[in-house]
Amino acid sequence: MKLIIAIIQPHKLEEVKQELYNAGVNLLTVNEVLGHGRQKGITEIYRGVRESGNLLRKIRLEIAVNDDFVDPTIKAVMKGAQTGETGDGKIFVLPMEECIRIRTNEKGTAAIG
Amino acid sequence: MTIPFYFDADLAPRCRRRGAAKKRLKQKVYRSPVGGAVEDHFSRNSHCFRRKHEGIPNSGRKTMKRFLLFVFLFIVCISSFLFGADAAATPVAANSGDISWMLISSALVLLMTPGLAFFYGGLVKRKNILGILMQCFMAMAVISLQWVLFGYSLSFAPGNGFIGGLSYVGLNHVGMEPCPFAPNIPHQAFVIFQMMFAIITPALIIGAFAERMKFSAYLLFSILWATLVYNPLCHWVWGGGWLAQMGVADFAGGIVVHISAGFAALVMALAIGKRRNHTLVPTPHNLPFTVLGAGLLWFGWFGFNAGSALGANNVAISAFLSTNTAAAAAALTWAIIEWITMGKPTMLGTATGAVAGLATVTPASGYIGIWGAMAIGASTSLVCYFAVSALKPKFNYDDTLDAFGVHGIGGLWGTIMTGLFASKLINPSGPNGLFSGNPKQLLVQIFGALAAVVYTVTVTFVLYKLVDLMIGVRVDDKKEVLGLDVSEHNERAYTLIE
């Protein structure tokens, strides 16, 4: 079991969602987050005061998958989110110790899908 | 020079008193058998005309009553002729009642532009709302100056049939003397009122190219468009130009404001192309803003339409009532259409219906009664709903906020409807429409609307190309993705953290 965390551009969310559905991954959690990587944020001006290095809006996806879904999920996120520009985001893959479905008490791989 | 649009406060009641005093007095007796004091009230109240025409029976039956009635009628006829001659001898002077209504109306119409900003702003993605607000707000700044510098002159100064002259440039020769278009108010009051129309018209177009136009290109385009499309059209219809001379009736701006902005919007949407990742599903980020905007528009529209009577008079009241009636009928109809076709009525649909109804009743508002207003309101929702939900997907253009579907189609429909429902019984200085036995007016209306469409479409397209060549109209993809708030204005509307 893995937990896949993907940080993507907000406008790519629809495409990523579509690619995930195509890959058979229907379960995901979406957060709106702020952050920046190498492109070093943006400059904003308020009443003549310049603020540089402001954080950019990003979308953070959390997807818990069984091992055989790890590669398809990563491929789907890549396909949906990649533009080739800086700021496209990152995918983190973390090992996951346990997963419990609250409704049924199911545990492990059965609880994920 | 006859300008059917302008209604003269004092002349009209006098005309009515002359023309139809007889009919009215019968009504008066039916409703209230005695009382000289009622006379003035009735002679100034056009409702009795309507009552007469709705076939409410005259209940004065007894011979004695008839005789008394005849005597009374005779006296009143004579006195009204005398009174009429009296009024004709006295020129209509500027008066505080008319002036205050015009100033209040001007302020109401100005408020429509920020109202429109919220109406539109709620409908875009939240990364673009400041871009919309900025464009609307900047229209208030830029067009206000354009108007007093030369826009007013090009629209209303004596000139040829196509465009006004330059004699009023910088409001030269425009002071507190009686306005040539409405002697009951000072000339500058008319300048102020008309300025607010000039501001909101280019702002209406914003809906078509929302979320993807460069701010600099918008500014240049707006100034050019106001000068080369709005000012000439305003002159054609209201400034004594060739459409006015043909007798085209446009009470408050169906042609000048809504057809021009709506069809310019269609041209811009087609020329600038779709947004990136364009889907047919709208992405409103704050519908309460949109409803707030629709509310402000509805409120401001009373200044727009009732103010177009150019005085605190009967026509203003009648225009106020038809404006509200049409908006109500359109809002309800749109909700019902959605209920039937989609299963649920929506807030966005109801607000859109109200705005469509207001836009459509605009050219007719001072010429129609409540039945015409209801018919216009209900039919406009059918037509605009069709335009927005069927026409747009079919032709697949990205008129982002339906500026064409609501204002273009609404303005066109309203201008044609004016040719059906207009009645001299409501406004003696306006035309009669088809339903009042004047089919020619319908043809005149259709011709006027088409002339405005052809002119607007042609010149708007040329201006688009010109601006595109000079500075480029569209932001690049990266800026569009980032959102216009940050990429064009370096600021954000909402924060995520603190």
Contacts of A109 (CB under 8 A, 6+ apart): A1, A66, A99
CATH of A2-112, picked from 3.50.50.60, 3.40.50.150, 3.40.50.300, 3.30.70.120, is 3.30.70.120
Residue B49, φ and ψ in degrees, nearest 5: -60, -45
Domain boundaries, chain B: 11-89, 108-488
Alpha helices in B5-95 (DSSP H): 11-31, 37-43, 47-53, 63-89
Query: How many Cβ atoms are within 10 Å of B497's Cβ, its own excluded?
Result: 6
pTM reported for the whole predicted model: 0.81
- Residue B59 scores a pLDDT above 90: no
**Distance separating alpha carbons of residues B292 and B197, to the nearest angstrom:** 21
* Chain B neighbors of A32, CB-CB under 8 A: 496
- Residue B17 scores a pLDDT above 90: no
- Residue B47 scores a pLDDT above 80: no
**Distance separating alpha carbons of residues B225 and B222, to the nearest angstrom:** 5
Predicted ipTM of the assembly: 0.78
User: Pick from B350, B287, B318, B358: which is nearest to B112 by CA?
Assistant: B358
Contacts of B85 (CB under 8 A, 6+ apart): none
State residue B61's pLDDT score. 55
* Chain A neighbors of B478, CB-CB under 8 A: 85
* Chain A neighbors of B497, CB-CB under 8 A: 34
State residue B70's pLDDT score. 56
State residue B54's pLDDT score. 43
What length is written for chain A? 113
- Each residue's pLDDT tens digit, B65-94: 555 555 555 554 444 444 443 433 345 788
Q: Is B282 on the interface with A (CB under 8 A)?
A: no
Interface mutation vs chain B, best among A43, A44, A49, most B CBs within 10 Å: A44
pLDDT above 90 covers what percent of chain B?
Answer: 76
Given a contact cutoff of 8 angstroms between Cβ atoms, the answer to whether B152 and B195 are in contact is yes
- How does the average pLDDT of chain A come out, rounded? 89
**How far does B213 lie from chain A, in Å, by closest CA?**
18
More confident residue, B60 or B130: B130
pLDDT above 70 covers what percent of chain A?
Answer: 99
Q: Which of B277, B490, B496 lies closest to A32 in CB terms?
A: B496
* Chain B neighbors of A15, CB-CB under 8 A: 277
State residue B160's pLDDT score. 94
More confident residue, B74 or B185: B185
What length is written for chain B? 498
For residue A13, give the chain B residue with the closest CA.
B277
Interface mutation vs chain B, best among A16, A42, A60, most B CBs within 10 Å: A42
Mean of pLDDT values over B324-352 = 97
State residue B62's pLDDT score. 55
- Each residue's pLDDT tens digit, A32-81: 998 877 767 777 777 777 777 778 889 999 999 999 999 999 999 999 99
Query: How many Cβ atoms are within 10 Å of B189's Cβ, its own excluded?
Result: 23
A11–B277: do the CB atoms touch at under 8 Å?
A: yes
Domain boundaries, chain A: 2-112
**Distance separating alpha carbons of residues B371 and B353, to the nearest angstrom:** 18
More confident residue, B81 or B302: B302
Q: Which CATH superfamily is domain B108-488 in?
A: Ammonium transporter AmtB like domains (1.10.3430.10)
